[in-house]
Amino acid sequence: MSDNNPFSGSFGGNAGQYAQSVQYGGAGDRAKVSLGEAPAAAELIKNTTTATFAADVIQESRRQPVLVDFWAPWCGPCKQLTPQLEKAVKAAGGKVKLVKMNIDDHPSIAGQLGIQSIPAVIAFKDGQPVDGFMGAIPESQIAQFIQKVGGKGGGGVPQITDALAAAAEAREAGDVQTAADIYDAILEQAPETVEAIAGLGEILFEAGDAEGAEAVLAKAPEEKKDAPALGALRAKMTLAAEAAALGNPAEFERRLAANPNDHQARFDLAMVQNARGEKTQAADNLLAIVKADRTWNDDGARAQLLKFFEAWGMTDEATLAARRKLSSLLFS
């Protein structure tokens, strides 16, 4: 992309002079990002000011590449480009950082860099601007630009692995929008990535968009449709649909209070509990049926418990605990 670099003239002039004239006090005070470690999404993207530009961009670019997005509130193309940049940077899994500068509030640095129109993006490495582009370009070109500036890191697989780790971290922190953006960006570059398909599908399903989750699952390549992660999501969706059709759980509890041996009521209650995320209670109710009457409904309670295990994942704590209890019942 540097062959058509609109900033090539200024990089050897005012920009270089600016980068060399900045004072870098306290360079050792900030923690370095370890190789192969995907930083949290919040650490990858930030706003900067004239006062903090040296630390946020010049100093930081000596550790890893930094993209600077020059924008303004009145700029229509900026509103299109900035979200795409954020999404691509998150998907890169820590290969680059993004720093955003509002030129209305902080015009001096844009002037020193010779920027005459926005949106404009400049990549900094080792304290110097090295590449850039102007205008709102397609997402595919943004991804190529980031790959070029940030390096392939040994190929596409490590980059995807880092991005998946960043998405998982975002989900754990409750930032599902960031996680969804990362999964979406991964799938644009590598549409066969099962973990991203499953992750995005789960986010949509948990948000109440079962139709959207189905659409994501449908895009899985034929040879990967039976992958465990996708099977677990399908099982979870099927169980939720079955539970929704059962009715009011209070009715099942009333029936059980009147007759603890009403296995159908206990079974239906377990289905509803699972849909509500009450895994332990759901498993315990099915285990109670297995203990009381293994033959009920053609061993239906045990069979349903195995479906729960598939939906929860074989390494889930609830699965492991319930499997131990089931083994104790069957083999004691």
> How far is 168 from 176, CA to CA, in rounded Å?
9
- The residue annotated as part of the active site, out of 44, 78, 92, 146, is 78
Contact between 313 and 319 (Cβ < 8 Å): yes
> How far is 77 from 119, CA to CA, in rounded Å?
7
139 is catalytic: no
> How far is 33 from 111, CA to CA, in rounded Å?
31
75 is catalytic: yes
Longest dimension (CA), the chain: 86
* Crossing angle (nearest 10°) for helices 76-91 and 139-150: 50
Contact between 203 and 171 (Cβ < 8 Å): yes
- The residue annotated as part of the active site, out of 38, 75, 187, 301, is 75
Active site residues: 75, 78
